[in-house]
Amino acid sequence: MANRDWSAVRVLARVSLSLWPLTVGFVQPFNSYLLILLGDLLGGFFFWPLFLNFSLVFTGALTGLGLMSLRPKAKKVDWMEGFHELGRRIEASKWDIFSLCGGIVLPVSVGSNAFTSKWIGFGPTYLGVSCGLVLSSLIIDWKGLFWAQKRPVTWLDILGAFLVLGGTAMFVAGTIEGDMVAGVSVNHGKRVGLLILAVVSGILLVIQGALNKRLTQALGDPWRSASWAAFCAVVGLFPLAMSEGPRAPEAISRTPPSEAFRYLSGLIGLAILLTSMSAPRYLGFSLYAKARVSGEVVGAVLIGVTHGLYSLAKEQRERVTTLAIVGLMVTFVGFFVSLKWNDKPPSEVVTQEVPPAGPAGVGGVMGEGGVRSRSQRNLAVGSESGDAGPVESTGTAEGGPSSAAAMPPHTSTHTDSAHVSEAQREYEADHTKEDSVRGGGGIDGSVDRLKAEKEEEGSGVLAVQSSDSKQQLSQEYLECLSGRRRTPKGGILVQGGTSTREETSSLPASPSKRSASAPIEAYSPQQEEKAPSSPSRPSERQLDVSSSRRFLQSLHQSEISDC
């Protein structure tokens, strides 16, 4: 249930973050729209609108950089340190020098979008851009190109890419059909060439985003890398704009106030630039591209079919047929199927109760009504909290199954000594009177009675390592424990006569096998009462005596009768 809830949270977070590039993608066609309007206002120039656009981008980036300089000194990244880091990266890999070229790639992409939109319409142009965005971003995520982190590409990603491509083809076919119905003369060869240019423009958008992201990592601030990219664009576009003639500044000075909105394309350009270098860090290039594509398609179609918008930029209205609408819906489906609903949550610490190892619980032994006796529960708690490690759990964590056999000897994940003492006191209070009534016969008697009662049925034996010697117990004794059980010292009892782990056992040797050099001290409850209350680890001798006594008494009083 927790994993399912976490998956829902992850999907909700991804959808919320994807609204960021989706919004920026929605306004990007308006950037091309304003550039077309500005070019018409200035007399049909192409490079002057781009130069003015990136001049405003550069001004906005410098303003943001100045505001960021007001941050506390502890949060600032020194300018020189950023350039030193960039120099170190270039020395380590000459490819890092291309991270400075984002400001050259971006104007080419923005100019291509505006140029293509004017000739074949906003819808077909930005559907072509979407194809380039989706394909290039998928390859970058898959191969880790342009310093991108490799991300697993699932069948949902591939399906989403094909749906976006198929929807784009259907939409473009629908717009061509609409133009033919309207009697608009279209040169199909020119249309195909401009569509290819739109696809290349989408690829360049992803590449410049990767370059600017790399530069941001070196300089430590997206405003610095945005300022650098805009500066490079302004420096590169200025001679091209001047080559068109000096008449544009005169036209700018004669712009009426009602047409001043045509110069605001630079604000949209600044938002696009900052998003392209920041959003892929949180969403990955693939999901970022699909979110941006969806916004671009909506914005482009809105411009193409709205009379108050297209009439300013184009003479003919873009006719959207049923096929084009279906293609648009298929494009959106391609975006939504790539949200990766099966993301795994980060590794968590398993804190739930230890599940039973057998059908009846930790030991597989149950009393009436399927409830284990108190001595069995105490014994399970004692073995879980003992020195050798936790009881084997069937649960899994991030790293794989939790297996006691895979743990090194004398390794514990529970160190609460107070918990152990409490379990011991509960056991003693529960069985002190029963000992006197039954006349248990001590440790040796418990083992002898167990062997005598099960002698006719038992055939297999289990060898358990001991610090002094080895002791053999019947296989029926093992069946009482339901196949798999940890001794108080951590040795795991397994059917078939072997132990999954060679450990020091807390079981004492039988009278016939016990070494004379290792006598077992008599156990008394006062022995634990005198134990220090500090959380320090008890001695091996105390653990051997107390845990052996508890283990064999529980067998005598509960397990034998249950079996």
- If you average pLDDT over residues 380-392, what whole number do you get? 39
Query: Domain ranges in the chain?
Result: 2-250+259-336, 368-390+412-450+459-506+525-562
The pLDDT, as a whole number, for residue 510 is 45
Give the pTM: 0.54
pLDDT band per the 50, 70, 90 thresholds, residue 342: very low
The pLDDT, as a whole number, for residue 200 is 92
Token pair of 498, please? 């072997």
Beta-bridged to residue 400, according to DSSP, are 397
Q: Are 281 and 210 in contact (CB under 8 A)?
A: no
- If you average pLDDT over residues 415-424, what whole number do you get? 48
Task: Kindly report the average pLDDT of the chain as a whole number.
Answer: 66
Q: How far apart are CA 82 and CA 73, in angstroms?
A: 15
Q: Are 99 and 215 in contact (CB under 8 A)?
A: yes
Q: Are 338 and 11 in contact (CB under 8 A)?
A: no
Quick check: helix, strand or coil at residue 21?
A: helix
Q: Which of 203-212, 419-428, 501-510 has the lowest mean pLDDT?
A: 501-510
The pLDDT, as a whole number, for residue 58 is 92
The pLDDT, as a whole number, for residue 269 is 83
Residues above pLDDT 70, as percent of the chain: 52
Q: Are 324 and 174 in contact (CB under 8 A)?
A: yes
Q: How far apart are CA 18 and CA 160, in angstroms?
A: 15
What beta strand segments (E) does 419-535 contain?
461-464, 471-474, 484-486, 492-494, 498-499
Residues above pLDDT 90, as percent of the chain: 6
- If you average pLDDT over residues 51-70, what whole number do you get? 87
φ, ψ for residue 485, nearest 5 deg: -155, 140
pLDDT band per the 50, 70, 90 thresholds, residue 540: very low
pLDDT digits (tens, 9 = 90+) for 480-504: 544 444 444 444 444 444 444 444 4
What beta strand segments (E) does 9-72 contain?
none
Does pLDDT of 536 surpass 70? no
Q: How far apart are CA 435 and CA 415, in angstroms?
A: 30
φ, ψ for residue 562, nearest 5 deg: -70, -35
